[in-house]
Amino acid sequence: MKAIIPVAGVGTRLRPHTFSHPKVLLNVAGKPIIGHIMDKLIDAGIDEAIVIVGYLGNMVEDWLKAHYKIKFTFVNQPERLGLAHAIWMCRPYVTPDEPLLIILGDTIFDVDLNPVLKSPHSTLGVKEVEDPRRFGVAVMGEGKIAKLVEKPDTPISNLAIVGLYFLLHAGPLFERIEHLIDENITTKGEYQLTDALELMIEDGETFTAFPVQGWYDCGKPETLLSTNEILLQKQPSARQFHGCIINEPVFIADTATIENSIIGPNTTIGWQAVIKDAIVENSIVGNYARVSQIMLDHSIIGNNAVISGNPQSVNIGDYSEIRVG
């Protein structure tokens, strides 16, 4: 079965890191965000991926081709007109009768996809949230979805659509998206996938919902760090380093150098990074970064960045250099 993975976005909320890297290649718990997603898809038997790329798309393409052997089709979305528009770009590569899994490229899920892919109906991943105004939401009725609303102004449901969609047949979705585009129907300025799916529901298609407990957003610095923490807790670590204290959970790349330092908890250290005379906790340190004589907490250090000096919490991009004191 094919999966469609939209990753054309600019990732503005994760600047400065996304000035030089697409969001989905940012390292969380030792792997790019999209690597976590690909591993889940391949475990579930997905053998073909259509990846919608735009901003820094070549980097995504190169990384995926270098790391996975499944069939990829890369589709360029030149203008970022919304998720429905992104999906619509894939229509030459999908036949109307085939089932489709759509999974956002910047959200990591902890869910067993096997029953989802065998669902007798189209089905959407949902999770209860406190403030649903930022999301598309599903209103349930009689065991199926009665209505979908994108970013509701009034509280109509607290079941957020998490970005995991299984469509029994691709054709009806593409027809509804085409309708949105032809009639220029947008919500909050974008062609919304939620609106296309709502049209399908209004036309009588049955959609069920499946609960997604593990839903880890990577879209902002604070959520990238909290996702890093949650994922590290799920995976075994760690090497010991002579003269250092390693407070698990941590991911330390096997080519990183750690000297006279305390690392962790909840910390990822990238490839060829050098940490010397430092304390680094609850942080992500990029590849080739150099960190010395400093205490870092809740920090994201870009690739090749250099930082030394007083204790702090920082968020610095690739190739930045900060030396304090």
- Residues 225 to 254 in contact with ligand UTP, rule: CB under 6 A: none
Cα-based distances in Å from 269 to 56, 139, 178, 246, 263 = 24, 42, 45, 12, 9
**Contact between 64 and ligand UTP (CB under 6 A)?**
no
Looking at 2, 21, 23, 127, which residue binds ligand UTP (CB under 6 A)? 23
Backbone angles phi, psi at 123, to 5 degrees: -150, 145
Looking at 1, 80, 110, 248, which residue binds ligand UTP (CB under 6 A)? 80
User: Which residues neighbour 184 within 8 Å (Cβ) at sequence distance 6 or greater?
Assistant: none
- Binding segment (CB under 6 A) for ligand UTP, from list 2-10, 58-66, 118-126, 195-203: 2-10
Query: Can you name the residues that pair with 53 across neighbouring β-strands?
Result: 76
Measure the CA–CA gap between 84 and 180, rounded to whole angstroms.
Answer: 9
**Contact between 77 and ligand UTP (CB under 6 A)?**
yes
**Contact between 81 and ligand UTP (CB under 6 A)?**
yes
Shortest distance (Å) from residue 113 CB to ligand UTP: 18
- Binding segment (CB under 6 A) for ligand UTP, from list 81-89, 115-123, 147-155, 168-176: 81-89
User: Which residues neighbour 204 within 8 Å (Cβ) at sequence distance 6 or greater?
Assistant: none
Q: Could you give the 3-state DSSP secondary structure of residue 58? A: helix
CB–CB of 277/293 below 8 Å? yes
**Contact between 125 and ligand UTP (CB under 6 A)?**
no
**Contact between 157 and ligand UTP (CB under 6 A)?**
no
**Contact between 150 and ligand UTP (CB under 6 A)?**
no
Which spans of this chain sit near ligand UTP (rule: CB under 6 A)? 6-13, 23, 52, 77, 80-83, 85-86, 104-106, 219
